[in-house]
Structure 1
Amino acid sequence: MPTRTATPLIPTPDGRADAFAAFPEQDGPHPGVLMYPDAFGIRPVIQEMARELAGHGYYVLVPNFFYRQGPSPVVELPEYIDDDARDGIVGQLMPLVRAHTTELTLRDAGAFVRFLTTRPEVAAGQVAAVAGFHGPVVAEGPDGLHRLLSAITAEVHLGHAASDLTPEALAELNRALDAAGLTYTSEIYPGTVHGFTMSDTSAFDPDGLKRHWEQLLPLLDRALT
């Protein structure tokens, strides 16, 4: 499906966040997808993934969640991020990651969703699907995971990198997902490392990316269309 792109600015309580949007050329409204990039930020590989998803009939909004520090990417990135470059870049980004608290994350998420759902190209609706890939499930405090999961009403898919989660940790997470009564799949993608969907990094795994699309597209189709 042919797509168009835009670079909107999203109003937030702390300023305006730059963003990338991709959506079908044909008239909408289309189901909306809020797509968070990895910590390296909005760049060609992220834009290409957003365009590919938009080609399946979605309005895809990719915000720069480090907008307080400047437009994305907030640090200089090479065209290809190999292992040597990764260490230096991650060192620059970690202070920003640590400063991006749960409070800021939630405040921004509200602004991003409001912006997305008020686009004329986006159909009205609610958060019906959540997918996460090669990202840790982080919750603060002893009851944080329960509070996090109990607030979710959407169908969930979590595709974990083998380097990020042990089978024992996966079993513990899945028990918490069961206890929350969620409809979900949560699995380790064999042989993968953190960042496996990113083709501009040395972490890229083509089989992991293929599995990512095989799980993501049917989830969105079930939940949003």
Structure 2
Amino acid sequence: MSDGSAEAYVAGDAGPGVLLYQDAIGLRPQIERIADRIASWGHVVMAPNVFWRDGRAVDLAPTGDLNDPESRQAFFASGVMDRVHRLTPEIVRADGERWLAALHGLPGIAGRTVGATGYCFGGLAALRLAAHRPDEVAAIGLFHTGGIVTGDPGSPHLELPGIRAAVLAGHADNDSSNTSEQIAAFDTALQAAGIDYRTAVYPGAVHGYTMADTAAYQEEGAERHYRELRELFARTLTA
């Protein structure tokens, strides 16, 4: 935003902190519902509007039904991916420092370390933050995250050696942005880095399976992601 401020949704009264990175669609009621669910496990959750440079969350949110193919196509044609691509690794790291500072400043936060969970490209942001601030980020979840292994010199998986966080990766088995070859390469990189990790391919799931406001939603996969994420945070985040 022009004044340099960023909005965020906060849920929870007390407990270890969790930073929630939205998907490409943006900060909206569905992301707030995910934050509320995680907060119910005993966490303080903050979901920032990572597209704050482009405008307020309400102005960037879809106005049509994303279960309708035409509405979805129109929304993504409105510049969604342009916003994503403008979030370079450098910007993600710089903003991540701001998000962590804001999260630590919330009332009720317990403990020095936090968790992070990311959806779609938000998983990449969580990974890069964990590599940038390894002493602060104790656990990260990545769900239906594409582009984790590429041939580029800045491929996200190359940051794994700098991570101390436990990693949970829930991949969709029908995701063109994250092929079986990429998933296998990511697992190999996790092993080589000596990271405490759990990874799985969710059957019958497509990219975006956790998002109940889209046609990609798969209840079985979404509920599984909640169970596994709760277990991750329970064993890694302490008050």
Supply the distance in 2 between the matched residues of 1:110 and 1:203 (Cα, whole angstroms): 32
1:118-155 residue CA offsets vs partner (Å, 9 max, x unmatched):
22311231211100101122668336445410111010
Determine whether 1:183 maps to 2:193.
no
Stretches of structure 2 that go unaligned for 5 or more consecutive residues are 114-136
Alignment match of 1:113 (pick from 78, 96, 100): 100
Determine whether 1:132 maps to 2:142.
yes
Percent identity, aligned pairs only, is 37
Determine whether 1:168 maps to 2:178.
no
The alignment partner of 1:15 has SS state of: coil
The alignment partner of 1:132 has SS state of: strand
Shift of residue 106, structure 1, vs aligned partner:
0.9
Shift of residue 79, structure 1, vs aligned partner:
5.7
Which residues in structure 2 correspond to 1:150-165 (within 5 Å)? Answer: 150-164=161-175, 165=178
**Contact 2:138–2:236 (CA<8 Å) still a contact in 1?**
yes
Amino acid at match of 2:22: P
Supply the distance in 1 between the matched residues of 2:182 and 2:151 (Cα, whole angstroms): 16
RMSD (Å), alpha carbons: 2.0
The alignment partner of 2:77 has SS state of: helix
Amino acid at match of 2:160: L
Shift of residue 74, structure 1, vs aligned partner:
4.2
Which residues in structure 2 correspond to 1:185-224 (within 5 Å)? Answer: 185-224=198-237
Shift of residue 214, structure 1, vs aligned partner:
1.6
Aligned residues: 209
Supply the distance in 1 between the matched residues of 2:153 and 2:110 (Cα, whole angstroms): 38
Tell me the TM-score normalized by structure 1. Answer: 0.86
**Contact 1:117–1:124 (CA<8 Å) still a contact in 2?**
no
**Contact 2:173–2:205 (CA<8 Å) still a contact in 1?**
yes
Runs of 4+ displaced beyond 6 Å: none
Stretches of structure 1 that go unaligned for 5 or more consecutive residues are 1-11
